[in-house]
């Protein structure tokens, strides 16, 4: 990407917000727009189609390992076509784009993954060889760790498309992020919330990231009131851990940071692709130092052999 254009804009101008066109992305951008409007900032939504949106078939790794849902929006931000990008943080690469910054992270929604079943009443009730839909190596490996008998098949498309594929009989169950279903008014479709002991969330899952140009003081000031410090610290810990592991977005890695008794707790998990090997580490630290905590958890996982599992996932 080229260097960002100047971020100087008149305070009376509309704040141009870049978003994907999916129903969930629109909901997220419109929610941010409503929060900004409450404080007197006029907003214009700008829809941007990403590589992940254009290619809805085949495994996600065939498109590229990082930024398939975010690069085009970041490019529009760099080029000055938009002033603010609203991301699902689980989609945003940990590799920083020069001149851009994560200006605010609103309070997190539900972080957990959920199971949506066609007939069964939960994971334990799924029969042997039940077909479960997910395109995520993280979800696949963790499910296989507890249910190696499951027939886990890839699935693509937005939330509504995946639910429709389930209802059409293509799968016995699918795994989705609970936050997405809740935001789309589909929480009643959740069969079971999968606990972190079974399925640790993706880095940043359930949280939104508000990205601006570093030199755009107006945009940064506009979104600053939307920042939730505890959530920001938690996702910074998760993202720093992932970067320290050099895991990218396709290795089977989960993370979950949260406040517990005024300290920041971070659980990290790395698995083999077949789910047979699972490595875990949970440590606590100062909420003011999430990066230090993240490096300690990453080191603990690497000491258990996480590097070999990550390299094996990359080479496959």
Q: Which two tokens stand for residue 50?
A: 């990403």
Cα–Cα distance for residue pair 2/75, rounded to 1 Å? 8
Cα–Cα distance for residue pair 127/195, rounded to 1 Å? 20
91 given a catalytic annotation? yes
Cα–Cα distance for residue pair 76/48, rounded to 1 Å? 8
Among candidates 111, 110, 112, 93, which has minimal Cα distance to 102?
A: 93
Spell out a b/e string for 45-76, using b for 16 or more CB atoms within 10 Å of the CB, else e.
bbebebebbeeeeeebeeeeeebbbbbbbbbb
For residue 32, give the H/E element and its range.
helix 23-38
Distances (CA, A) of 35 to 28, 85, 138, 219, 257: 11, 15, 33, 14, 25
Say if CB 200 and CB 270 are below 8 A apart: no
DSSP string, 75-99: HHHHHTS-SEEEEEGGGS-SSPPTT
Residue with tokens 């690469």: 93
Q: Which two tokens stand for residue 107?
A: 């309070």
Q: Which two tokens stand for residue 160?
A: 């509504």
Choice among 91, 113, 172, 216 that is catalytic: 91
Q: Which residues are the active-site residues?
A: 91
């Amino acid at each position: 990407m080229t260097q960002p254009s100047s971020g100087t804009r008149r305070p009376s101008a509309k704040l141009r917000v870049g978003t994907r066109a999916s129903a969930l992305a629109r909901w997220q951008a419109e929610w941010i727009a409503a929060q900004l409007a409450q404080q007197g900032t006029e907003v214009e939504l700008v829809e941007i189609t990403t590589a992940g949106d254009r290619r809805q078939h085949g495994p996600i790794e065939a498109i590229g390992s990082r930024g398939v849902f975010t690069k085009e929006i970041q490019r529009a931000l760099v080029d000055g076509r938009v002033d603010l990008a609203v991301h699902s943080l689980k989609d945003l690469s940990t590799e920083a784009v020069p001149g851009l910054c994560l200006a605010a992270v609103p309070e997190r929604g539900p972080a957990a993954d959920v199971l949506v079943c066609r007939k069964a009443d939960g994971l334990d009730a799924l029969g042997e060889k039940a077909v479960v839909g997910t395109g995520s190596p993280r979800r696949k490996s963790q499910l296989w760790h507890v249910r190696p008998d499951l027939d886990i098949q890839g699935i693509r498309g937005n939330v509504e498309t995946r639910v429709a594929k389930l209802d059409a009989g293509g799968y016995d169950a699918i795994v989705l992020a609970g936050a997405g279903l809740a935001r789309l008014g589909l929480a009643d479709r959740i069969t079971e919330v999968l606990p972190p002991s079974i399925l640790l969330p993706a880095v940043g899952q359930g949280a939104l990231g508000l990205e601006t140009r570093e030199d755009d003081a107006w945009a940064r000031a506009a979104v600053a009131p939307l920042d939730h410090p505890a959530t920001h610290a938690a996702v910074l810990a998760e993202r720093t851990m992932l970067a320290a592991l050099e895991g990218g977005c396709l290795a089977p890695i989960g993370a979950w940071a949260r406040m517990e008794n005024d300290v920041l707790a971070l659980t990290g998990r790395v698995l083999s692709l077949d789910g047979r090997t699972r490595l875990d580490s949970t440590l606590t630290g100062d909420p003011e130092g999430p990066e230090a905590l993240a490096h300690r958890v990453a080191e603990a996982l690497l000491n258990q052999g996480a590097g070999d599992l990550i390299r094996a996932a990359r080479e496959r």
